[in-house]
Structure 1
Amino acid sequence: MFRRRSDEAPSSATALAEQDAAPQSRDPQAKKGRPTPKRSDAEANRRQRVTVPKDRKEAARQSRERLRVQREKQREALLNGDERALPARDKGPVRRFARDYMDSRWSVAEFFLPFAVLILVLSVLRVPLLQLLSTLLFLLFLILVVIDFARLSFGLRRALANRFPEENARGAVMYALMRNLQLRRLRLPKPQVKRGEHP
């Protein structure tokens, strides 16, 4: 256990030296094609790229300013229909077609909010006949909205399958139906087609 090594066994230091001296086969594709930069140059480049603000208040102010500019661009894009600055939810030809498809058609669902306010006012009144009437009208309107949604979603699915057979249209129908619940004037992005136009 504690005896000396024989002279025949090479020491570990000489074995390592022999391994280093042997030529190592390198993959020619593994080369990076440029010399390794000096340490001082690499540190200087790293310092130059990352600019850390002096204090937290300055960093928070810069972050808020950047977010404000981004929101302003998105708001302008929503008002003008500029495709480049739209939020991710509204981008792409599939979403644009779904918006145009809904904006070019009349639907019962877009009058749901004003009708719901009217029904609410009628139901608050203490006249039993008006309260019963408001409940019946609300149920009737809800049935009409569901039928209208079914009609529009079936038509939009078919149009998307014909127009974009290779594109992923997942979520586009629900996106268009939720847009359809809003009054036309309040929709964002603003409608780009007139009623009756084909998108």
Structure 2
Amino acid sequence: MKLPWKSDATSTDDTVDDAQTTDDASTDEARVELGKAKATPGKGRPTPKRREAENKRRGPVSPPPTTRAEARARKKALKSTMSKDERKQVSAKRREARLEQREKMMSGDEKYLMPRDKGPARRLTRDIVDSRRNFAGLFMPFAVFLIVAIMIPQLAVIANLVLLVFVVFMAIDSYILGRIVNRRVRERHPDTQESRFRLGWYAFTRAMQLRMMRAPKPLVKPGDKV
């Protein structure tokens, strides 16, 4: 409705202003709706670490084999998926790893020793045995000589007597060795849980072996003080 005191120019300006206001409000509402549409919804959980994501991509790790047959089956299946060159490389790496482990075991590295050789008490026992000239160390070469002698009828009786005497002397020397080992181990490692019999038997079995065949290798020479 046109009022008498308003001119046509004023009415036109008001209409333009109302139209611009309506357009601005519509533009603002459109921007708000567009922002809501582009907003990324929350995951509702923390972002996984890189290692966890890699593990998920790789899939679950199969449990270790429980039997030798299962281990052989897995090894065979793995070989079937590898080329000849790849199998040679894997075999060479395994061989190198075994040789390295054996060298470290023979040198007395505690990490690579067998369970029966581990511990400071066992190490001291080996050093005591290796520092002595044990009578039991002659058993293997002497046994070969006696076997040959027994085959000769004229020497059979004498060989049996010599064998009996040798066994008696070996038993006496082994008994002395066991007492020495237990006394020194108790002096230097009083908190050891090793029994006297087990230490004595361990010393005897090592003394029975030739020096070049002992494992781990001797770290002391005969006559050295331990």
Name the TM-score class by shorter chain: 0.5 to 0.7
Q: CA deviation at 1:140?
A: 0.4
SS of 2:171's partner is helix
Q: 2:84 aligned with 1:57, yes or no?
A: no
Is 1:73 the counterpart of 2:84? The answer is no
User: Are 2:137 and 1:110 aligned?
Assistant: yes
Specify the alignment match of 2:225 in structure 1: 198
Moved more, 182-191 or 56-65: 56-65
TM-score by structure 2 length? 0.60
Q: How does 1:1-199 map to 2 (within 5 A)?
A: 45-46=55-56, 47=58, 50=61, 55-57=77-79, 68-127=95-154, 130-170=155-195, 171-199=198-226
In 1, Cα distance between equivalents of 2:81 and 2:175: 50
Q: Which runs of 5+ in 1 are unaligned?
A: 1-33
Greater RCO, 1 or 2 (C-alpha within 8 Å, sep 6+): 1
Deviations 1:58-107 (A, max 9, x none): 59979977864553233212433333322222222111101001011111
Secondary structure of 2:153's match?
Answer: coil
CA offsets, 1:14-69, max 9 Å, x none? xxxxxxxxxxxxxxxxxxxx9797xxx97862535637999343599799778645
Q: Gaps spanning 5+ residues in structure 2: where? A: 1-44, 63-73
Letter in 2 for 1:104: S
- 8 Å CA contact 1:73, 1:85 repeated in 2: no
Q: 1:86 to 1:143 in 2, by over 3 A?
A: same
Amino acid in structure 2 at the alignment position of 1:103: D
Distance 1:179 1:63, change over 3 A: farther
Counterpart CA distance in 2 for 1:59 and 1:42 is: 27
Q: Is the 8 Å Cα contact of residues 160 and 169 (structure 1) preserved in structure 2? A: no
CA distance in 2, matches of 1:147, 1:54: 54
TM-score, with normalisation over the residues of structure 1? Answer: 0.67
The residue type paired with residue 72 of structure 1 is L
Identity %: 39
Residue identity matched to 2:79: K
Secondary structure, in 3 states, of the residue corresponding to 2:180?
helix
Deviates more, 1:175-184 or 1:84-93: 84-93
Contact map agreement 1:122 1:131 (CA 8 A) in 2: yes
> Which secondary structure state, in structure 2, belongs to the residue aligned with residue 55 of structure 1?
helix
Residues of 1 paired with 2:104 and 2:164: CA distance? 38
More helix by percentage: 2
Q: Which structure has the larger Rg?
A: 2
Counterpart-to-counterpart distance in 2, 1:89 and 1:172: 11
Show the counterpart of 2:37: none
Q: 1:99 to 1:136 in 2, by over 3 A?
A: same
Counterparts of 1:136 and 1:53, CA distance in 2: 56
